[in-house]
Structure 1
Amino acid sequence: MSQQTELLREDRFAGRPKAVLLDLDGTLYRGETPIEGASRLVEELEEAGIACWYLTNNSTRTPEQVAAHLRGFGIPADATRVITSAAAAAHYAKQRHPDATAFVIGEHGLRSALAEAGIAMPDEAELAAGASVNLVVQGLDRNLNYGQLTAALGYLLSGADYLLTNPDRRLPVGDGFLPGAGSLAALLETASDVAPVVIGKPSGIMMRYALDLAGIEASEAWVVGDNPHTDLAAGLAAGCPTVLVLTGICGRDDWRQRCERAGAMPDAVCEGPDEVRALISGLGTASGPSDT
């Protein structure tokens, strides 16, 4: 085993996975720069018959936009393998609230996903005319105004259910940060006393959706990411083997402390994508139940 890879639970890596659930920013790229080895990892896994799925808490982009962004880094991503928190939220809404009429705080990615799922979303004129709303779906909206917050609060106080695409409190942008969807949710929850159902990482809801789409069991899919609070916690919630890469939030000197604070220790720690690739290459056949 490479000195740049540490196995904390060897029993979790009895064989190769059937799929790898990959985080994006901090795992495959940083900002607008691809991480060394990311494209090689994806290419070699796909050639070996190991499906790569891309999981993102970003609710503002469609899967097609995310895949195009990844291809711009040389990563051969297909939109059918991209799972956004918006898509997971739309699926959950359709399953749990099939006849819902939703008030949406969010951008194109969320509205597009809800429309594809057949969730009714009254426009401004219909809302002004008194259209009934029984579901508030909230993601990141960088054009949010006080009127929208007031309307959402009114619906929540009137008994509407509340879905939150992802709990991220802030988003790194250049040298600073933007308030994230979780920050907006904190405002609405404080005002309404209604806690949202959280869909995206670290929630197990998004992970179960991903596993269902992939058609595999949790033990057959590795979760690879850089964030203990989201990626590792999500993998832990789903029961998947987890691999922490030291290309984003965590470094070699502080990963253990960060993971302990998050309450989510990884099953393996790899320096980066090349080490993940080497770890998988060194294992036997795909994990999971035998056909015999």
Structure 2
Amino acid sequence: MTYKGYLIDLDGTIYKGKERIPAGEAFVHDLQKRGLPYLFVTNNTTRTPQMVQTMLREQFNIDTPEETIYTASLATIDYMKDMNRGQTAYVIGETGLKTAIYEAGYQEDKENPAYVVVGLDTDLTYDKLALATLAIQKGALFIGTNPDLNIPTERGLLPGAGSLVALLEAATRVNPVYIGKPNAVIMNKALERLGTNRRETLMVGDNYSTDIRAGIDNDLPTLLVTTGFTKAEEVASLPVQPDHVLASLAEWDFDA
């Protein structure tokens, strides 16, 4: 079928770490030429949407409006607003996550926050983990921005936010609420922003566990491209097959 809208992963799909994926760039250019609505949906919380926009333009030859970028940070804030438990938070994460949460009106509280939010933090320390552990034990709502155990980079698969969340889950014996792909929170909010029908919107990504399960679990058709996390040799053994599998986005036929 011809799809009316596209939800697209970034890292491993459109680029890989600092490496360009020319077919990914061309895929986005084709969407733009055709006037097809799209939204980049990323579990990466280290950058603000404006930072992602700048990175795409300067490093990957993609010029896209800021409103086409929906991060797990933005989805986390949407969830916190829905929960309405208070305006305090302790955040483990980088600029993208902290800026979004504090600019949304939440105040940092290291002792008794309403929320403990955990994303990827490359400056992680034991003290940060200790503060988060104690706050969760006191009753803070424990939020993991995304469940990605690894992130694909030019160096290989590095620890992702999900690995940090898993450590705190072990330390507190409290199950976190996950926001990012494959969970419904980020997918439902993304669809609201895109404004297209669920069954006519294609979820495009490289990671079966997050991107493709996000589509499968939330009733969206899926396109797996084997340029990142999930390898071609793994496809045959996947529990539920994606609707489409490609070695490169250059192979995609928009009119099929």
The Cα of 1:177 is off from its aligned counterpart by 4.5
Match for residue 38 of structure 1?
24
Match for residue 70 of structure 2?
83
Match for residue 116 of structure 1?
103
2:255 to 273, 281, 284: 281
1:249 to 222, 229, 238: 229
Amino acid at match of 1:169: L
In structure 1, stretches of 5+ residues that fail to align are 1-12, 283-292
Q: Does 1:66 pair with 2:52?
A: yes
Q: Does 1:269 pair with 2:245?
A: yes
Secondary structure of 2:27 counterpart: helix
The Cα of 1:173 is off from its aligned counterpart by 4.3
The Cα of 1:18 is off from its aligned counterpart by 2.1
Give the TM-score normalised by the residue count of structure 2: 0.92
Secondary structure of 1:254 counterpart: helix
Assess, with a 3 A threshold, how the Cα gap between structure 1 residues 171 and 226 changes in structure 2: closer, same or farther.
closer
Q: Which has the higher contact order (CA 8 A, sep 6+)?
A: 1
1:198 to 145, 154, 178: 178
Amino acid at match of 1:68: T
The Cα of 1:176 is off from its aligned counterpart by 4.6
Q: Does 1:184 pair with 2:158?
A: no
Secondary structure of 2:97 counterpart: helix
Match for residue 93 of structure 2?
106
Distance 1:103 1:250 in 2: 33
Distance 2:99 2:250 in 1: 35
The Cα of 1:49 is off from its aligned counterpart by 2.2
Aligned residues: 255
Distance 1:92 1:59 in 2: 15
Secondary structure of 1:76 counterpart: coil
Deviates more, 1:83-92 or 1:245-254: 245-254
The Cα of 1:112 is off from its aligned counterpart by 1.2
The Cα of 1:107 is off from its aligned counterpart by 0.9
Amino acid at match of 2:255: S
Distance 2:152 2:33 in 1: 34
Distance 1:250 1:107 in 2: 26
Is contact 2:16-2:152 (8 Å) kept? no
Is contact 2:87-2:114 (8 Å) kept? yes
- Larger Rg, first or second structure (1 or 2): 1
The Cα of 1:174 is off from its aligned counterpart by 4.1
Amino acid at match of 1:237: D
In structure 2, stretches of 5+ residues that fail to align are none
Distance 1:174 1:272 in 2: 18
Is contact 1:60-1:107 (8 Å) kept? yes
Distance 1:148 1:253 in 2: 39
Distance 1:102 1:204 in 2: 22
Is contact 2:16-2:154 (8 Å) kept? no
Give the TM-score normalised by the residue count of structure 1: 0.81
Distance 2:150 2:69 in 1: 22
Distance 1:41 1:176 in 2: 24
2:209 to 229, 233, 245: 229
The Cα of 1:17 is off from its aligned counterpart by 2.0
The Cα of 1:60 is off from its aligned counterpart by 0.7
Distance 1:227 1:60 in 2: 19
1:17-74 C-alpha deviation (Å, 9 max, x unpaired):
2211111122112232222322322122222221121111111111111122222211
Distance 2:138 2:232 in 1: 49
Distance 1:178 1:38 in 2: 22
Distance 2:169 2:232 in 1: 37
Q: Percent identity?
A: 39
Distance 2:191 2:114 in 1: 29
Match for residue 194 of structure 2?
214
Is contact 1:170-1:180 (8 Å) kept? yes
Secondary structure of 2:28 counterpart: helix
Assess, with a 3 A threshold, how the Cα gap between structure 1 residues 179 and 248 changes in structure 2: closer, same or farther.
closer
The Cα of 1:134 is off from its aligned counterpart by 1.9
